[in-house]
Chain A
Amino acid sequence: MHTDVRQGIRKLKTFRQKEKKEKKKLSGKTSPKVISSETQIRPADLILIGALALLSLLLLTLPVLSRTKLRSPALLIRVDGKEYGTYPLSLDRTIEINDTNVCEIKDGKAKMTSANCPDKICMQENAIGESGGTIVCLPNRIVLSVVNSEEPEGGELDGVAR
């Protein structure tokens, strides 16, 4: 089996060499597509990878820093960008979303328990609770997020755009 493959490769190589000679005769020039230096690691590589890693870490700190503990957290369900409903996290319940997904609120945390999409990635996501977070079902365009259900009291939130 292996020897067969090797023989085949050898044949192929000799065929290639023959053809290369032919090609040289014909055109008189060869254009190597890969310069061997392109597989050698260069300082610029490490700089680029390091810079990209730093950039993504910086972007990651933005939502982490802006995260605040919510006083009366509620689960906001949006389908296709439109609000489907808001449910307080303090009450345990199961919510069916358009016959495609089912999510469950339990012990102050929300989780997707059922989805009709093939990959079921939303069901693998960690439960979201009072510290915020989101669960997204991309195929069914459902976004679960934890928001503060408290109505803003006049005066307190002056100047805060919502």
Chain B
Amino acid sequence: MRLVVHNMLQCHVKGCDSNNFPLRLFDVELEIHEIEFNPQFLQSLLPKLDWNAFISTANQIGITSLPQALPEEIDEDFLKNLHRILFETHIMQGKMVCSNCSHEYPIKEGIPNMLLNEEEAEEEAEVEAEVETEAEED
């Protein structure tokens, strides 16, 4: 997962509607995969990026080479640095945690898992176990 995708993911637990973006990153392992530099694509993407969320996330994973606010004049060095961080930095392992409800979304082999079912599955297993014990008791 790249940071550009992280920038549009939010927690979607039922009822978790505020302070659910951005998801905080923990225990991350990073890898750099180089791709072609495309300044136009990057420029067109900038308005869609939530800069504050992006900066705080970058800080969490130890990247501090970016300005706190999006500069008015954008030069090539800045874009190249941004390209490196947004497109070439892959989060391979780790987890994303919601600041509001603390739900954890694991990242395995670069693929974030946004399913909520894990808890539901556990709950169901409990219910089944309950039914089984009841049957034994009867």
Instruction: Verify that A and B bind, or say they do not.
Output: no
A residues contacting B by CB (< 8 A) are none
Q: What residues make up the interface of B, taking CB atoms closer than 8 Å to A? A: none
